[in-house]
Structures are given as C-alpha cells and as structure tokens.
Chain A
C-alpha cells in the first residue's frame, strides 16, 4: 500500500481514493479534501457536531481483522485486506477519520438515504422561494436539486408555524422554513455566549424560538442569518432589498476595530446591499460583529463630503493642492500632521512622506473602547499597527491631542494637516481650530471640515483598495467594491499631490507602483507586493513593537503579548 503516514495523519479511503488527513477530521471535511461533496445542513466546521439533520449519511467500512489474533483478513477475490462494510448508513459529520476507514458516498443506498431525508425536510417546507431572501444561496434549494427526488408525494396539508417573527431588532424568523438544524442555537451558545434560542414542541411541531423574555439582540446575532442553511433566519436590514444573484462580491476588511475581520461586500451597480463575514481561520473564523455590517451605510450618508473646498468655496483638485502648498509655505516650521489609524498602510506611508517633506511631527489619534473578547477589540482603529510598521509613528497614539493643543495655544503650530481625523473629536476646541490653517482630508462632514481652509473629500474603505495591519500584525488587503462617490478623490492621489506640493519627492499614487517604493523603504514589508499578498493575510514580525502597551485584550484568535493596558478612555 502507500507509505506509512505521519503520526498525526491517518489514511482514509473515500470513494476509492486514498487521502491522509489529520486525526479527528470528520468525513465531511475529509471528503472535501478529495473534492467529494457530502451534503449536510446541521454540520458547521466551527460549531459542535450534533448530527440531527441526517443529510450526510454515508456508507462506512473498516478493514477486517481476525477477532482473536488481530491479524488482517485478506479478501480472496482481490488479495487485499477485506473491508467490513457496516450494513446501515452512518452520518459523515460525526464519523471521524481512523486508520483504514473506508467511505462510500455514491452508492444506491446513500442516494436513497439522501432522497428520503430531502423528502422529509421538504414535506412541511413552504413554497416560499419567490418571496424568500435565501433563494439563490439556499442549501435546501441546492441540495434538493442535487440530491432530491425531484417531485413531491405529499398531498396532505402542510404544517402551520409562526411566520415573520422578530427574534431581535436585526433578525427575522420564519419558522415554517426552519429545518431544525440548530446551527443558530449552537452559535448563540458556543460563539456568542448568549444562550437565548431553543426549540419548543415536539416532532413535526418543533419550533425555534427565543427563551421567554429574551431576545436575540447580541452584537453577533446576524451570524445566525449567515449560517442558517435555509431562509428561516433573515436579516431585517437586507430583507427584500435585492436578490443575491445580482450582487457582486468584493473581499474587504471590517474597519471597526483592530481585529480586522475578513468580510465580503455585496454590491450591485455601485450600491452596497450587505456585508457578510469571509472565512479566515486565523482571524475571525466565519464570524463578524453586527456593528461592522452597518458600515456600508456611511458610503451614501447625507453628511458625506462631496466637494473640494478652498476657504469654503467649491474648487478643483489642483487649485486646492496649490492652496495647501501656500499654507505649507506660509507656516513652514510651524506645521503638524495628524494621520489616522483608519487610513490604509499605503496612505500612512504617504502621510509619513508628507510629514517628512513638511518637517512636521506626525501623530495619530487613538480610539479605545470596550472589547468583547470575541471579535470586537478595545482598539477601535483598524490600522494603528500599520502606522508603526511604516514608521509614521514610533509610540502608541493618545486619545486626545493635548500636546498639539498646547502648541497651538502657544502659537508654535500655525497649520495642521488633518487626515481622516476630526480634530474637534480629538480634543481641540473651536478657538484652537480657528487659530490654525487646516488642510483636511476626510470622508464625512465634521467640525474640522467646517473649520478647514482646504477640504479634500476622500474615499471610504469600500471605494478604494489597500491594506490594514490588524492586532496580530497580520497585513490584510481590501478591495474597491463600488466606484468613488462623486466629488471624492482617491486618498493616495491627494496625498501624493500634497507630498509633491510640500516639496517632497514625486510619488506614485497607484498601488502597484507605490508598493515597489514601500517594499524598498519599509524593511518589514520588503518582500511584499500588493498582488502577492495572500487573501488570508500575511503575519509580520511583531518583535520590534512587542514592548508597546497595546490596548487590546484577548479576542477569538488573538492573545496579547503584554497584559492589556488599563483602558484610557
């Protein structure tokens, strides 16, 4: 046979093909590795196995041994070791790889089992597909097409169960569609640690519901909608908004905290309809917080900055950059740059170049909130570590710009470049804002954009591509999902023009060319290009910053090197 596998690997045989898998892998995952689809509903790779949907039934056999001597029994027909097939089907999700395990997924018995399970699941399932939001990404639709019998023999009246029940403000339940897989129950219990869901009643009257007096309101409730294999749980925000088959999927990153949960942005014709998590086993598994799913609403918010302004008058990019250059000249030596932990690595690199060209100190503003130990970390900036890696800052930022405020009061700072940050929110008073000339790059209206001499509207994370460095020092990329809002200019273009206006070098403003410069200048990113960065991110060497007191506590896949510093805000 084949060479003995490594100690932690066992060889299993699936539909006649041998594969070595880690011990403890179940049949569904092992079959996935050889490209065999074992249909399932209740099994989810990140939840406990309950085996209640019975869809993953397979035939299983083990090599025959003599009961007394444990010697292998050879099959006289083939000369190989005989396989003892279990006469009844087994569930694939709770059958784990053991040495010599044989699996058959394409036999008539398995086919009959699947057809039978599908028929029973569809008995009480309503004919709601035309009005069901899950249509198009529904496992029940896919698997009844792939493994069902194709017609119904059920002529009796279907069960009636509660429809249009709100489980919480974000999740709508349709019990008739529910196939009782219990994924949502297990998710709430095991991942969200908020045990609010359960089944009541028995048999075909089993109904999913919240415990009395409880609601599914936790910040992870929409993950139950994602893992629901049917249309029982739907999102109230996305409900009846658009069919999924129209939507374009773009990989992105949740910018709400430094966890950097991987996401998919679903858009059609420049409009974003929803954000869902993208599997990354090193960062967020298959989950994301509900709060991060709302961020797309900022793209078309009414307070979006849509016009380049110089002294409050609508203007053009080159005029505005010229006006900024005048401010730089007039205030030479008395300038400050406020960068942002929300900017991408590329923008922070250009911010560093701008600060160097202006010979001005650069600082960030920290945002610290309460972490929830799952996927919301204490640091609410997605990319403070990017600023450390690019060298924009050397120490951790403060929540308030007290030093800058006192320097403005003392008259030592006469102009501030504020990039993606509201200086008023960072502790500067209206009088201090009035004392300095502000060049502001930002996406939404704020006290700073109102006070600024030059306002350059830039892009939200959904309208540009770039990279963020998350709390694990994992650099991850995000892509442009929708075209830029009218009137807004790419941050990189604006920053490159400002660097040139400040007397700095002429720098590229497209990612491919800019990454050549970044790779040459930033040693930690020396081997990287934007194109070769894997989808799941690349872990950078964090040792140079290991001593810094980062704000984050432990989250799903992150343990802080240092004990979490006392939250400062």
Chain B
C-alpha cells in the first residue's frame, strides 16, 4: 500500500491563543444554564415509563383474583437465558377454579439471568406474564435476585382480562348441552 504523507496546516495566531475555543465552550455552557434541566435526580426522581416498556417480568391475576398462569411452561421453554423455572401442579378439586385444573406450584424467575426480551409475554397463551414498568432490581445475594411466585404476583397485580375464557368455560359447563 502506498503511503500518502499529509501536510498539516500550521495553526493561526487565534488558534494558538485558544481564546476563541474557550469562549465558544463557555457560550454553550451559558446557554445550557438558562435552559430547563434534562437530567433527573435519580433515585429521588423517577422517569416516566412509556407504554410497552419491557421491565421486570411479573405474573398477573384476573379481575376475580384468579391466578392466570396455568403452568403450561411455554415461557420456560422459550426463555433464551433459561431464567424461568416452573414446577407445574394441579388445582385441588374443591377450589372455586377447579375447572382450570392446572396452576404453578412454584414459579421462579432468576433476574440475574433475565435479559428482558419479552418472549415470555409474547408466548403466553393465557396472558398471565407481563413485562411491566419496574426496571430496577437489586439485592445483596443471588437468592434475593430470584423472584418467586408470591413476589411475582405482588409485582404484577391485576390486569383486566378481555376474554374471560375460563369463566365462559365454567358457565358452559354449568349450562350443559342444548339437548
């Protein structure tokens, strides 16, 4: 490869004094001083979270307080970093939601592994897992960074269910057949 020597221009007098550059910098600083601030005093001030934000994954209940997760384990299967761990279980026959049959015995999400990709939310056939607005997780031990089922429901709260699939199912079961 050919070597092309570049001629560097000699600095002018003004450039050698640095004064125009300093003044230029000070102008920017002074202009910012008069404008409103754009930074936040985190953690006292918190940013507004846009809708569709992918924060900490949580489990949600339907308006009747029923846990929506049926432990189908699709999120566990799809989770790229294998952060989700589910122990499936059955709902006791005397429970009011016995017709749903299945619910998780244990549901753990390891937040040290989670990459907030949202595939769990996307794959969930029951709309039970949502990445919500919380973005900050901290703890002193690895165990503290694993969200267990009760914590996941505490974080998740209740989300309105548009379909009432299982309520319809129960109503149909009570109604019986047309004949």
Contacts and interface: CB of A to CB of B under 8 A. Distances in A.
Interface of A: 126-127, 129-131, 135, 157-160, 163-164, 205, 239-243, 245-246
Contacts of A242: 73, 88
Given A135-B72, A160-B173, A205-B177, A130 B125 contact: yes
Given A164-B101, A243-B72, A246-B77, A129 B176 contact: no
A243 B77 contact: yes
Interface secondary structure of A, over-half rule: loop
Given A135-B72, A240-B88, A129 B125 contact: yes
A136 to B, nearest CB: 9
A127 B165 contact: yes
Interface in B97-118: 99-102
5 contacts: A129-B125, A130-B72, A240-B71, A240-B102, A241-B88
Contacts of A243: 72-73, 77, 88
A545 B107 CA distance: 57
A127 B125 CA distance: 10
Point out which of B70, B88, B89, B100 has the most chain A C-beta atoms below 10 A from its C-beta: B88
B62 interface: no
Interface in B126-164: 126
B107 to A, nearest CB: 14
B46 interface: no
Contact of A245 (B77, B93, B173, B179): B77
A242 B88 CA distance: 7
Contact of A131 (B70, B77, B177, B179): B70
Contacts of B90: 239-240
A157 B77 contact: no
B35 interface: no
B175 A160 contact: yes
Given A240-B88, A240-B89, A240-B90, A131 B176 contact: no
A233 B72 CA distance: 18
Contacts of B93: 164
B13 interface: no
User: What is the size category of the interface that chain B forms with chain A?
Assistant: 20 to 34
Contacts of A245: 77
A205 B178 CA distance: 10
Given A131-B72, A160-B177, A240-B88, 16 more contacts: A126-B169, A127-B165, A129-B125, A130-B70, A130-B125, A131-B70, A131-B102, A157-B172, A157-B175, A157-B178, A159-B177, A160-B172, A240-B89, A242-B88, A245-B77, A246-B77
Contact of B101 (A127, A131, A135, A157): A131
A164 B70 CA distance: 16
Contacts of A127: 165
B169 to A, nearest CB: 7
Contacts of A239: 90
Q: Which 6 A-B pairs have the closest CB atoms?
A: A130-B72, A131-B102, A243-B73, A130-B125, A131-B70, A240-B90
A243 B93 CA distance: 22
A130 B88 contact: no
A241 B177 CA distance: 32
A2 to B, nearest CB: 48
Contacts of A160: 172-173, 175-177
A131 B169 contact: no
Nearest to A241: B88
A17 to B, nearest CB: 37
B126 A130 contact: yes
Nearest to B99: A163
A239 B88 CA distance: 10
B83 to A, nearest CB: 15
Point out which of A129, A160, A205, A245 has the most chain B C-beta atoms below 10 A from its C-beta: A160
A3 B61 CA distance: 70
Contact of B179 (A158, A205, A240): A205
A240 B87 CA distance: 9
Contacts of B173: 160, 163
Contacts of A129: 72, 125
B122 to A, nearest CB: 15
A451 B101 CA distance: 48
A137 B89 CA distance: 20
Contacts of A157: 172, 175, 178
A495 B82 CA distance: 40
A456 to B, nearest CB: 34
Interface in B55-101: 70-74, 76-77, 88-90, 93, 99-101
Nearest to A242: B88
Contacts of A135: 72
A84 to B, nearest CB: 44
Contacts of B169: 126
Contacts of B101: 131, 164, 240
B74 to A, nearest CB: 8
Contacts of B102: 130-131, 240
A157 B169 CA distance: 10
Nearest to B69: A130
Contacts of A126: 169
Nearest to B169: A126
A159 B73 CA distance: 28
A538 B70 CA distance: 46
Nearest to A162: B173
A217 B128 CA distance: 38
Nearest to B71: A240
A228 B126 CA distance: 26
Nearest to A130: B72
Contacts of A205: 177, 179
A164 B90 CA distance: 12
A129 B126 CA distance: 11
A231 to B, nearest CB: 11
Contacts of A131: 70, 72, 100-102
B162 to A, nearest CB: 15
A242 B87 CA distance: 8
A412 B126 CA distance: 72
Contacts of B172: 157-158, 160
Nearest to B72: A130
Point out which of B100, B177, B179 has the most chain A C-beta atoms below 10 A from its C-beta: B177
Contacts of B88: 240-243
